[in-house]
Structures are given as C-alpha cells and as structure tokens.
Amino acid sequence: MQGAGGFALHDGDRVLFYGDSITDNQFYPQYVENYVVTRFPNIRVNFVNYGWSGDRVTGGGGGDIDKRLARDVFPCHATVVTIMLGMNDGLYRPWDDNTARVFETGYEHILDELKSHGNPRVTIIEPSPYDDFTLPTTGYNTVLQRFADDLGGLATKVGATAVDFNAPVVDLLNKAKDANPDEARKLIPDRIHPTPPAHMVMGDALLKAWNAPSLVSAVQIDASTSTAAADNATVRDLKGSSAGLTWRELDGALPVYFDRNSAAVNLVLKSSTVFEDVDQEPLKVTNLTAGSYKLTIDGQDEGQFTADQLGNGVNLAELNTPMMKQAQTVDTWTARRQFVRQTAWRNYVVGLDGLGLSQRDQALRALDRLEADVVEHQRQAAKPVWHTFTLEKATAAVQE
C-alpha cells in the first residue's frame, strides 16, 4: 500500500534522518513524522533520527563517517535515508575549492556506502541557510547555495531525490522581515539553527518533494436535497430541517497540528504556504437559506458562518476542532517517541559502546519495547473517530 497521490513513502518503510545539529534538534523530522502518522493512519512508517551536532561529511563528535555509518546507519536497515549536511562543511569561511572538493567526495562516499549496504531510497537535502538576511550579510550563505547547486547535480547523477531547504527558508526570512523585523531575527537566532517554527518550512519542503497531498478530507453537502459527497471521509445519518442540518462524519485523516498560541508559529504561517500545503479540510454546504449558521462538532461551538461562507467552503483545519485537538495529542506522542529513541541511541548504543557491559543489550531491548509501546499509543491517537456535526440557524446575523 502507498500513500494517496503517489506519496513517496510506503507501508512498511523505515525512514532514517541523517545530518548535523539541525537534524539532531529533531524539529523538521518531528513535523514530517506528525504529517505521515496523521495523514496516513492506515500505513505503518517508522522513523529514526541520527543527526549529530557538528557533523560533516567526514563525521564529527560521534566518530568518523565510516564509524557513524557502521554503528548508526547500517544496523537500522532503513528503506529511506535523508541526508542533510553542509552547514559545517563550508567551515564558515568564504568559498574554497579544496573545501568544496572534500565536501563533494565525502558526500559521494556516503552515497556509495549506502548503495552497497541495502541501497535505500535517498533524499539529498540541500542545506538550510545561514541567516544573511535579517542581519548584516557575511556572505556565508552563498557558500551553502553553491553546495546546494552541486548537490542537485549529484542527486541527478545518482538517481536520488533532491530537496532545497535553503530557498524556502530564505523566502520565509525575507517575508517575515517585512512583516515584523524583530521577530524575524528570532527565527534563526544564532544564524545557524532554525527555531521549531522555522523548521515547519523545512519539513514542508521535504513533504512537497515527496509529493505529499494537502487534502485532509473534503465534504460537500446540498442542503436542499440532504445529500453529501465526500473525499477521504464518510458521511452518515444526514438529516435536514428548517433549523439546519445534522450528520455524522468519519474522516480518513487528521489535520497537522499547529500551535496557534505561538506568535512565532503565526508569523511563519503568515509568511509561508506551510498551512495551505498540508491542511486543506474544506466543508462546503450549498443551497442553505440566507442567514448565519452556528457550527458545532460533538457539541463544541466552532463559530458562526453565513450561508455564503458555507457555500464557498470553510476550512475546518483553521478551527480548534476535536480533530485538531486529536492531532495535538499525536504531536505529543511523537515527541515522546523521539525522546525514547534518542535516549536509547545516544546513551546506550553510543555512550556505552565498547565497555563490555553485559546488561547493555538487555537494556536496549527493553527500550526498543518501550518505544514500540509509545508508537502504539501514537498510532492509536492518530486513528480518526466519528464526530457529530450540527449546523443550526443562528439568531444573530454575522457580517458577510
């Protein structure tokens, strides 16, 4: 089974995120995992993040590249590997041909090793930007952009997928700067490490490269005939009266959760297409009599909308629906799963490597079982459930 619309990930895939501190920070991998788990609740895709702060194509604090590959990557038997390197490889200096050669040959070595160890499907991530846009320029991002051009060519050469993290984040920085210069400077506060809201743009770029569908579900109801058409949803018990409509609905997916109480999140959503790219959940109700209508889901008030607004369609993902609250729960379980996996890897696989401790492997097996338990809770939380919708004629008019 494959995700709808040719989505790049398949049932049974194991995705490994490899990179430096920007990957190690977990944020864009968490965003991608949340999307996959909520958008495709009936397929099982497992995720592992083995980014290491400071890493280059030659390795770093976790060991040289061959040690990293042998200890961290190959044992995972990943079917999909994303690689995000480059920020540290340019050495934070102007362009240097010798440095670039080390980067290119080192990257090719990684790809060759992956091909000979399971040959996973590879996504090459062109490095996210050094912030030369909300602060006075240093010119270092031009080095990263030249790396990105080289990586695009390398991806074509080896048949890998390439995704650009640089241009979308640069676009975000410039638009955010126009909207709020002070807050824009906080999106990459040290010029290198994007904050979690900025990572949403990076995760979105990866999902788009993987042909991720934007549709959560779509329901269209004709109030004059009390009939419904649905895409990735099931509608039952639709009843109409002079007072409005009621029905039961089971969607095939959940929306992606965004923390709209965060000013930084709202700035990113305003300055990018992230929300539009992943959270289309339209409810359209046509042929209603003129006036305004109160929408409730499971008795929860979701606001008032005019007949014209409902006829044009209301995106439910913009509201704090029970479905969005369920997606927030999934987000929490995803963070817990990442914590367990990170603990097992960094503290037991790496931290206790080579010490001859007889109980280490037993402890690792226990942590594997713990992670599996957390995953089951995550997936249970991601299963859509039936909801009761009511549209009731409101007494107070709403401005068109």
Per-residue pLDDT of the chain (400 residues; tens, 9 = 90+): 234 459 999 999 999 999 999 999 999 999 999 999 999 999 999 999 999 999 999 999 999 999 999 999 999 999 999 999 999 999 999 999 999 999 999 999 999 999 999 999 999 999 999 999 999 999 999 999 999 999 999 999 999 999 999 999 999 999 999 999 999 999 999 999 999 999 999 999 999 999 999 999 999 999 999 999 999 999 999 999 888 999 999 999 999 999 999 999 999 999 999 999 999 999 999 999 999 999 999 999 999 999 999 999 999 999 999 999 999 999 999 999 999 999 999 999 999 999 999 999 999 999 999 999 999 999 999 999 999 999 999 875 444 4
Rounded to whole angstroms, the Cα distance separating 346 from 86 reads 22
Domain boundary at 213, 235, 260, which? Answer: 213
Same domain, 239 and 183: no
The answer as to whether 271 is a domain residue is no
Q: Identify the pLDDT of residue 395.
A: 77
Q: Identify the pLDDT of residue 5.
A: 56
Same domain, 192 and 285: no
CATH number at residue 80: 3.40.50.1110
Same domain, 169 and 224: no
Same domain, 176 and 231: no
The answer as to whether 256 is a domain residue is no
Domain boundary at 190, 213, 236, which? Answer: 213
The answer as to whether 364 is a domain residue is yes
Same domain, 200 and 295: no
Same domain, 137 and 184: yes
Domain count, the chain: 2
Same domain, 74 and 57: yes
User: Residue 99 is part of which domain span?
Assistant: 4-213
For 206-226, b where at least 16 C-beta lie within 10 A, e where not — what string? bbebbebbbbbbbbbbbbeee
Q: Identify the pLDDT of residue 2.
A: 37
The answer as to whether 298 is a domain residue is yes
Same domain, 177 and 201: yes
